[in-house]
Chain A
């Protein structure tokens, strides 16, 4: 009964999405107010029906209703309640419903926080979001209905994939989808502005907070995913250049470019057409990500059972979105004129460089991810692109970003005398690299070029970001006054740039200094690694709610301090899956990581031991960036009505991004 209710609500949501997609767009182009006024109520009603539908599926999981096929495949009566709820999005059908519900949430949010938008603009934005929703809802109803019944009703369910029975994995998908789907708002704003011919700085300013929020969720989703892969997959790595990771990273890179280019469009009225194109790319890459994950075309750690017909549907949807929006762009973009003028050395061009690097990086990842698929589709052989490809291409493209991100904010709009800026960093720049080299050499006795350069870049980035902030503060009378005078978005920008530096420190140090041992150990054995002694004390059997596990106890000692780690090898009863549960002692300067391999004979195990210095800094960097995003969004000017006269005034040019 509840399942049918959910199904009906889903169909109702589709009807609302159709209304929301059809009338407001027609009304906006014909100037019929009554048609346009459909947008808000239809959008809210759609969200309401989606909530009912999502709630119904959740209820099926909570009540262990195994007559619903999706529940039977992904849950079990022994599964704890918390994971039964998380199992709603543990597999394809439910995660698509989550996708649609989140789109509804964003739609509802747009209807609420849109008082400053003109009626026809709002109608167009909601209309486009409605059309996207129609596509996704049709996809769910025709290829992936989560409410399908199963006969005969199985006595118990097939259980949730053990890898997903974990905190990180329960929050990672909603977070990532908030980001993916949030980019649809930026997309809708861009297309709406193109359609209405109102591609101006007001549009950019409306679009910025939405893009920022989507970006910060995307950042959070990726950070969580990386953290989860680190502790759950038991390989001790934090990024694998797996196609599905790439699928989330590409929209992130383009969204990052979009945030920066929106700044130029808002402040200077430049890059308009380019900004629109970025918004289209960012959302298209989100859809592509969904396609890659869900189509089953990829051999990936994420390729949990999936189905090619669904892939085809998403591919068609993708073609319509990309093709349709590029068509609108081709027709409308030539009318777009950039009014701003600026010289070669200016903040505009620096941000242009940032955009080109980010988009190129994204493009090269796209190449490495799609090339094998294209070759395969053309029957030219089955290949895969090894992870070193991505590292080789990505690092040189990011290096200029690390060098310029911190100092960029010191450049002025329009024209920036390069000499003065060079003069101000004449000590800071060499000092940063000397510090990087000295630290590598003195603290870790390392002469590796990459490590020295990486640390130098990180120091320089952090120092120049602080210098940029300071150069704003010192314009005021006192430093306290200066601190107070800065807008939150200045602090947000500084925090995000510092986050890149923190991330870089973590990536460089953990990559270079990590030590690893794969050993055979029996109880009583000890192994030395990076100054730590790992004693294997023994194993015992422990019972979880839906698994039993061999739990080993290790005592780790160094310089008189000692701690115990208890990694597990779990056997999930229903799916008969073995799962490695690594034991980690986290720390700011190092992680100790023990994972059980396999039982070898009588009582010996193969064991992975890692000492991973500074690996937490990688995710700390992500947190800094998120904090930066939140600070920027909190800027009051995004919530103020826009005075007509202020749009792209020359005087506004010297203000912060």
Chain B
């Protein structure tokens, strides 16, 4: 039989073991899976990392969406007002992807300055804008005039 003291020590030992195990997994996994968010202006000024994935967000520039014939590759530009970044994506775009809509793309920037997206996210509500995108647009002056209506409508 264990005395209360031994039992407490078992507790503590198990706790410490569990927490450190989790911390180890968490930290290693964290390192690999943290995705930073950059605006097109930050990308234009060279702040975004090369050769490392990150997220970019902005409005899809009007008339910029071009499809390659016979494949699922799409090119378009995302902009936060002053700057736009070309994006290349192969796959099926989300239902709410359209020109003028706020989106977030996940991927890497290549040597030519094109963002190679592995994932494109557009939100379910057509009026919804990802908070990161709304904020960066506000900062860079690219927010559509009717944005205050976006949430209430």
Q: Main SS of chain A's interface residues?
A: mixed
In the complex, what distance in Å separates the CA atom of A519 from the CA atom of B7?
A: 60
Q: Which of B62-112 contact A (CB under 8 A)?
A: 67, 69-72, 91-93, 95-96, 104
In the complex, what distance in Å separates the CA atom of A371 from the CA atom of B4?
A: 37
Q: Which of B1-56 contact A (CB under 8 A)?
A: 1-4, 7, 10-11, 14-15, 18-19, 21-22, 25-26, 28-30, 32-37, 55
**Does the CB pair B22–A364 fall under 8 Å?**
yes
Interface stretch (choices A207-215, A535-543, A559-567, A593-601)? A593-601
Decide: A388 near B33, CB < 8 A? Known: A393-B22, A397-B25, A577-B126: yes
Complex interface: chain A residues within 8 A of B4 (CB): 338, 341
**Does the CB pair B32–A388 fall under 8 Å?**
yes
Complex interface: chain A residues within 8 A of B55 (CB): 384
Determine if B124 is an interface residue (Cβ-Cβ < 8 Å): yes
Interface stretch (choices A6-14, A285-293, A325-333, A349-357)? A349-357
Q: Which of A517-539 contact B (CB under 8 A)?
A: 518-520
In the complex, what distance in Å separates the CA atom of A307 from the CA atom of B128?
A: 11
Partner of A161, one of B7, B34, B124: B124
Number of interface residues of A (CB under 8 A): 59
Interface stretch (choices A126-134, A246-254, A295-303)? A295-303
Determine if A447 is an interface residue (Cβ-Cβ < 8 Å): no
**Does the CB pair A304–B26 fall under 8 Å?**
no
**Does the CB pair B96–A577 fall under 8 Å?**
yes
Decide: A301 near B126, CB < 8 A? Known: A307-B151, A342-B1, A363-B22: no
What mask results when residues 346 to 368 of chain A are scored 1 for a CB within 8 Å of chain B, else 0? 00010011001100110110011
Q: How far is the CB of A528 from chain B (nearest CB, A)?
A: 18
Q: How far is the CB of A240 from chain B (nearest CB, A)?
A: 11
Determine if A584 is an interface residue (Cβ-Cβ < 8 Å): no
In the complex, what distance in Å separates the CA atom of A386 from the CA atom of B121?
A: 14
**Does the CB pair A576–B93 fall under 8 Å?**
no
Determine if B127 is an interface residue (Cβ-Cβ < 8 Å): yes
Determine if A201 is an interface residue (Cβ-Cβ < 8 Å): no
- B37's nearest neighbour on chain A, judged by CB, is A382
**Does the CB pair B2–A343 fall under 8 Å?**
yes
13 A-B pairs whose Cβ atoms sit less than 8 Å apart in the complex:
A234-B95, A299-B121, A307-B151, A341-B2, A341-B7, A360-B19, A364-B26, A384-B35, A385-B35, A388-B29, A518-B72, A519-B72, A601-B67
Task: Write the residues of chain A forming the contact surface with B, with a CB cutoff of 8 angstroms.
Answer: 158, 161, 163, 234, 296-297, 299, 301, 303-305, 307, 338, 341-344, 349, 352-353, 356-357, 360-361, 363-364, 367-368, 371, 381-389, 392-393, 396-397, 414-415, 518-520, 575-580, 597-598, 600-601, 606, 608
Given A382-B37, A392-B28, 12 extra CB contacts under 8 A: A161-B124, A161-B125, A303-B123, A305-B125, A342-B7, A352-B10, A364-B26, A384-B34, A389-B30, A393-B26, A415-B1, A578-B96
Rank and list the top 4 A-B pairs by shortest CB-CB distance, nearest first: A597-B92, A382-B37, A386-B33, A392-B29
